[in-house]
Chain A
Amino acid sequence: MALTLSGEEIGAKLEEKFPGSIVESDKDSFLVRSEFLLPVADYLKDTPGLDFDFLSYITAVDYYEYFEVVYRLTSLEHNHSLVMKARCYGRDNLSLPSVVSLWRGADFQEREIYDLMGISFDSHPNMRCIFLWDSFEGHPLRRDYL
């Protein structure tokens, strides 16, 4: 079982490196401003001592006012993990930067979120439906989908 790093500690470190990037943090996770998502993810992946070389999963949560996308990062080298979150507000034309360029494993999961939650990921190499068919209307995992 990987050791879960404190979101507060890592968040403070990131705030120092990228001023204005961290919205809030607690002991489990930290919330990153979406325009800083890619540089922060890049920093977490390549900094010695952190080395988050593996993306365990991405998922998305519908909170009505906003959608929260959750990234669990793992370092196979140090056997520790971390939860990073990003939000997008509103219901239409939502987008976040894609992390496929850092972790190839994000490919299908970002497509799944696009399909079922309706959040598109910028600069994703193949942003198409994966579970449903192209002409399907709506996003079934949203809480207002009937």
Chain B
Amino acid sequence: MEIDINEKQVYSSTELNKVEAETIEALRMGSQQVIPDPDEWLAQELKGNVLLTTVDFFLNWARRSSLWTMLCFPACCAMEFMSASASRFDLSRFGMEILRASPRQADLMITAGTLTWKMAPQIKRIYDQMAEPKWVIAMGACAITGGTFAQSYSVVPGYNHLIPVDVYVPGCPPRPEALIHAIQMLQDKIAKRKNL
């Protein structure tokens, strides 16, 4: 089939210009007024902005709502932790998806995996470097008691030989739901903390 170069296209260039002009003109006419600030009510000083609570509650609320986790993944439970923090289980719903590689910036240590005595001094040191207040979740059978390897010559029979543990999550490995549940239990624990 031959192509007739004079045949009219669906839109000629002139028509395209016309459509564009109409769109812009319509938008311009509809945008003559400034959209009012939706946060204008904030300007009303104090009115509607004051909540009364205790210092304890406020501190605990702030702390439990943004737990920053220290990377401590010596073994395979780390896979389950990655799953928990990725999109399917979405740990960030609870405000704790941030993993820190520096102990100075972390207040929660999730011990995901088997710990050997060779590695133990490093874990102890990382825990000591974390700033107070700090919490520990022992994740999985190995972290609780050494699990299958409890009788081994090289495995620490539970993190609680080295550092104080707040919440224990059983499982080999625990499901991500179990880990999320454990973090929520820890949040409840933090909420009951007396600071003053």
Contacts and interface: CB of A to CB of B under 8 A. Distances in A.
Interface of A: 131-133, 136, 138, 140, 145
Contacts of A138: 153
A136 B117 CA distance: 11
A133 B118 contact: yes
A85 to B, nearest CB: 27
A117 to B, nearest CB: 14
Which label, helix, strand, loop or mixed, suits the secondary structure of the B interface?
A: loop
B117 A140 contact: no
11 contacts: A131-B118, A131-B154, A132-B118, A132-B154, A133-B117, A133-B118, A136-B153, A138-B153, A140-B153, A140-B154, A145-B153
Interface in B51-67: none
Contacts of B153: 136, 138, 140, 145
Contacts of B118: 131-133
Interface residues of B, number: 4
Interface of B: 117-118, 153-154
Contacts of A132: 118, 154
A127 to B, nearest CB: 18
Contacts of B117: 133
A138 B154 CA distance: 12
A81 B117 CA distance: 38
Given A131-B154, A136-B153, A138-B153, 8 more contacts: A131-B118, A132-B118, A132-B154, A133-B117, A133-B118, A140-B153, A140-B154, A145-B153
A73 to B, nearest CB: 31
A105 to B, nearest CB: 22
A89 B117 CA distance: 31
A140 B118 CA distance: 14
Contacts of A133: 117-118
A59 B147 CA distance: 28
Contacts of B154: 131-132, 140
A132 B154 CA distance: 8
Nearest to B121: A133
Contacts of A136: 153
A138 B152 CA distance: 13
Nearest to B153: A140
Nearest to A145: B153
Contacts of A131: 118, 154
A145 B151 CA distance: 13
